[in-house]
Amino acid sequence: MGKGMSTETRSSPDKRVPEPVELQRPWRIMDSGKDELLDFVREFKPSAEVLRILLYGPTGAGKSSFINSVQRLLLGRNAMSALENSNLTGTTFTKTLNIHKVKKGSDQSYPLEIVDIMGIEISEGGIKKEDIIQALEGHISDGYVFNSHTSIKKDDPKYKKEPTLCDKAHCLVCILPADTVSRMEDHICKVKEIREHASLLGIPQVIVMTKVDKACELVSKDLKKIYYSKKIKEKVVKCSNTVGIPLNAIYPVQNYSESITQDPDTDMLILTAMRDILNFFQ
Ligand SMILES: Nc1nc2c(ncn2[C@@H]2O[C@H](COP(=O)(O)OP(=O)(O)OP(=O)(O)O)[C@@H](O)[C@H]2O)c(=O)[nH]1
Ligand SMILES: [Mg+2]
């Protein structure tokens, strides 16, 4: 069946005219060389000792899973670095700030660190906006346990008064789930304020849009169709308009969550996001 002629259709309520869910032309071109992308990420050398990437976003968005997915594709095997939430209760699962050194092998690491933090919640629970900013500025040490009622105190043993260049986040990545992008308004104020702060500090920012498999049936059946998916395109546009990040800084991905086996299409999307994040520092 040709492109634009998928059997998966949506009916408009009145006329029941089938709407194509698969675009005739991709809205983005898929990179072709997985090995090149992999080499680029593996050989990346930051100007500082390490490059630190801070992830933030709503609870359950897939922050911890993204870290595990990056780690997994670089190691070529399953490597649970960050604990993921297996039972979504609506409250944040990650409660501490965890600095994950991206592993190269059993006792070596890439010069990359990805920082996982508590999720943003709609209610009073979840991470405080001020704590995300403190983490961005490098004031919070590994292992700090967040308190959803108050932000870190300056006399806390995990508070770093004078962060070094390596303690500061060099890139800020907002993790947003594609399946609930339309309900993002609840988090948008916090996300925008954090973004503005990062912009003032000159920190590059991207969005990694997870759970594309849950947002689009076409993509769930075949991840290769991601850039032909009308639904995913709409979600990327919505995200761009709401958060105020250019379209080309939004990366839809599927994390390794349930699947055990390595998948080249899953790898390509995650690698594309990582390559572009690292490209800020070339
Ligand atoms: N289908 C699917 N599930 C995903 C994807 N990414 C993450 N998940 C699942 O979503 C759930 C939450 O993922 P986590 O990585 O724990 O989310 P988190 O953002 O770290 O959540 P908190 O720590 O609570 O803030 C887990 O059950 C994951 O397996 C994805 O791309 N597709
Ligand atoms: Mg988590």
280's tokens: 């800020």
- Taking the CA of 251 as reference, the closest ligand is 1
For residue 170 and ligand 1, the question of a CB distance below 6 A is answered with no
Mean residue pLDDT across the chain: 89
Position of tokens 């043993």?
A: 157
CB contact at 8 A, 102 and 110: yes
DSSP secondary structure code for residue 154 in this structure: T
In 117-224, the DSSP E strands lie at 171-177, 205-210
In this predicted structure, what is the pLDDT of residue 185? 77
Ligand whose nearest atom lies closest to the CA of 61: 1
What pLDDT, on a 0 to 100 scale, did the predictor assign at position 17? 67
**Looking at residue 13, what is its pLDDT?**
57
pLDDT for the residue 15: 62
Q: How many domains does the chain have?
A: 1
For residue 69 and ligand 1, the question of a CB distance below 6 A is answered with no
Name residue, tokens 């960050």. 82
For ligand 1, whether the C-beta of 252 sits within 6 Å is no
Given a cut of 70, whether residue 6 has pLDDT beyond it is no
User: Domain containing 222 — which CATH number?
Assistant: 3.40.50.300
**221 located within any domain:** yes
pLDDT tier for residue 3 given thresholds of 50, 70 and 90: very low
What is the per-residue pLDDT for 186? 75
CA angle centred on 157, ends 155 and 159, rounded to 5° = 70
Q: In which band, very low, low, confident or very high, does the pLDDT at 193 lie, cut at 50, 70 and 90?
A: very high
Q: Is 42 contained in some domain?
A: no
Q: How many CA atoms lie within 13 A of 225 on its CB side?
A: 22
d(CA 275, CA 182): 28
Residue 19 lies in a domain: no
Q: What share of the chain has pLDDT > 70, as a percent? A: 90
- pLDDT-based confidence at residue 77 (cuts at 50, 70, 90): confident
Residue 206 CA to residue 222 CA, distance in Å, equals 25
> CA nearest 190: which of 277, 117, 86?
117
Predicted confidence at residue 124, as pLDDT, reads 76
Assigned token pair, 248: 């080309």
Average pLDDT over residues 89-112: 87
Closest by alpha carbon to 132, among 112, 109, 111, 116? 116
DSSP per-residue letters across 64-116? HHHHHHHHHHHHTS----SPPPSS--SS-S--B-EEEEEESSSS-EEEEEEEE
* Closest listed residue to residue 122, CA positions, set 196, 189, 209: 189
Lowest mean pLDDT among 8-22, 59-73, 184-198: 8-22
Residue 257 Cα: closest atom of ligand 1? 29
Q: Is residue 11 part of a domain?
A: no
CA of 65 to the centre of ligand 1 (A): 6
In this structure, the number of other CB atoms found within 10 A of the CB of residue 275 comes to 17
What is the domain extent for residue 211? 48-279
**What pLDDT, in 10s, does the model give residues 196-227?**
999 999 999 999 999 999 999 999 999 999 99
Average pLDDT over residues 32-47: 93
48: DSSP letter: S
Mean pLDDT of 66-95: 79
Per the domain annotation, does 106 fall within a domain?
Answer: yes
38 found inside a domain? no
pLDDT at residue 278 is higher than 90? yes
